[in-house]
Amino acid sequence: MMRHYSFSRWDVLPFVAGLLYTLAFAPFDYAYLALIALALLFASWQQCSPKRALLRGYLFGLGAFGLGVSWVFVSIHDFGKAGVLSAGVLTSLFCGFWALFPALAAYASAKLTAYTPDRWAGWQMPIAWLAVEYVRSVWVLDGFPWLHSGYAQLATPLAGYVPVFGLYGVGLLVALTANAAVTAITRKAQRVALLLAIALLWLIGGVLQTVRWTHALGAPLQVSLIQGNIAQDKKWRPEFKLETLNFYKTATEAHWDSAVVVWPETAVPAYLSAVYDGFLKPLEQAAKSHHSDLIVSLPVEGDSEQIRFNAVMTLGRSSGLYKKRHLLPFGEFQPWQPVSAWVLQSLGIRMGHFTPGDADQTLLEAGGYPFVTTICYEDVFGALGLNGVPAAAYLVNVTNDGWFGDTLEPHQHIQMAQMRALETGRFLLRSANTGRTAIIAPDGHIVSQLPLFTATVLTDTITPMTGLTPYARWGDIPAMMAWLVLVAMVIRPGAAVRG
């Protein structure tokens, strides 16, 4: 038994693969490492027991999440005011929790081996991988799609499939490619066919990149995105409130020649009722007189003291209010009550308490066109705003990545925003408090952006778009149907056909 459970190079390999996997994402952007890392991971799962596969999957997760999302330490320690030890423990628990999901995929894959015919041996691995990744990204703690393999493919030919199948479809193709490469090495009889299949798959992706699924709806609009770079530890302190408001007011007044001016998430450090009459209403009147529209973000009070919303408001030729729907776990609400609240209070960590907005909200309008609004990490969920895409001419995301300092997080986050633009075939305006503020084109490329930690304004033009990509029309249904077809081909649940 001791010899059976002793570590070997195949146990170390998944941890190294996990580290390589993280390097596929921004800001490193070695996209093909995602394929190599998954190929190494799948190779380590072959012909091993479920328990050994579980271990190897967990080691992969520790490498990937331990490097890739360790930025949560900055949020807990620097801004949550937890001590180094407490922040370190919570960060380790956070990374260790998400590492459970590759472990679960590995365990499921090993269990499914018994129900996989010899000719499909090994193909249960991408099936298990995508299923667990989908659960992690959509359901667990309201979803955590960070380090999903599809996000690393924006600069590869597989990006051509994004407007068709979305993030999860591309993630499935990444896993299938990685598994095909492993199978081609281990099964000489299938090598040529598999290599040709990989080449064809990627060639089609390259061809799809030349397809333009959407088209211009009107003349280009000049837009200005304000990056306030307000330090997180000063943002809500009363003595800095006037300085903050004056900055946004002055920056806005200097760009009334733009059709749309966008402020980042909670740029106004006060509730709407406290600042509308004396601060926002004069700006609204000025916007109207200059034929411009202002998109601001601020907290909004509800009907009682216990109800408050993280919101975006339009002022100018058209006025409206959007209330954030998908709240941030532990940051804007506390799941697993009452345990989570007790732990945070014991550590002296203060977190916000917000109420989610309604699922069906009227689209806001600015520059003469309606747009889909997302606040903060709402933009990492592709399906969230799809209902509004048919009527929307562009997308707007306001965020504040200042919680994470100079870490990997701001770069990973904007990479996810790029995916949303590509999925919908729309320009995306991204106004971030500390950066990266950017304008993203319908093909997912960044048109222009501001550097991190600078207080300045990005002014450029966008084109209102119309038309629907297949993904905007059907959402994740095609990707899930493709997964189900693969399951039907590979898995035989009636009896154990392989020992």
Catalytically active residues are: 265, 324, 376
* Helices 100-112, 33-45: inter-axial angle, 10-degree rounding: 50
Give Cα 376 to chain centroid, integer Å: 10
Amino acid in position 307: I
Cα(33)–Cα(329) distance, rounded to whole angstroms?
Answer: 30
Q: Are 368 and 259 in contact (CB under 8 A)?
A: yes
Strand 428-432 vs strand 394-399: parallel, antiparallel, or unpaired?
Answer: parallel
Q: How far is CA 35 from the centre of its chain?
A: 19
391 CB burial (10 A radius; 0-12, 13-18, 19+)? middle
Of 215, 118, 98, 204, give the one whose Cα is nearest residue 158: 204
Task: Give the span between the Cα atoms of 354 and 330, in whole angstroms.
Answer: 11
